[in-house]
Structure 1
Amino acid sequence: MKQSEVKEKSVAELQEELIKAQRSYTDLKMAHAISPLENPIQLRGQRKTVARIATELTKRELQ
């Protein structure tokens, strides 16, 4: 998810997306621990998505 897509969403939508992204990241980590992923770069991308969403939520809370 790109930053421009994150900025367009409401706070409720972002909270839902954050939960989904965190769950997806956890699932990828577990799958990678059991047997190596075909594309381990997915982990990095998912981690950055979680960070983008969390950063936007924090920014909106501070405003």
Structure 2
Amino acid sequence: MKIAEIRELSTKELVERIEAEAVALNRMEINHSISPLDNPAQIKLTRRMIARMKGELRQRELNKQ
């Protein structure tokens, strides 16, 4: 997901998406510890996507004030 797509989401959708991605990341990390993933770089990409979404959410909070 690109930053432009993240900016198009509403705040509620963004919060829901962050929660869903965090659950998916947790599941990936657990699965990877048990047996290696086909693409372990996916963990890094998911972590970065969550950071981008949290950054956008924080930016919205700061712009409201």
Q: Same fold (TM over 0.5)?
A: yes
Deviations 1:30-51 (A, max 9, x none): 0001111111010011001100
Match of 1:45 in 2: 45
Identify unmatched segments of 5+ residues in structure 1.
none
The TM-score, its normalising length taken from structure 1, stands at: 0.96
CA shift for structure 1 position 2: 1.0
Pair 1:28 & 2:28 matched: yes
The TM-score, its normalising length taken from structure 2, stands at: 0.93
What secondary structure is seen at the aligned counterpart in 2 of 1:39? coil
Identify unmatched segments of 5+ residues in structure 2.
none
Percent of counterpart pairs with the same letter?
38
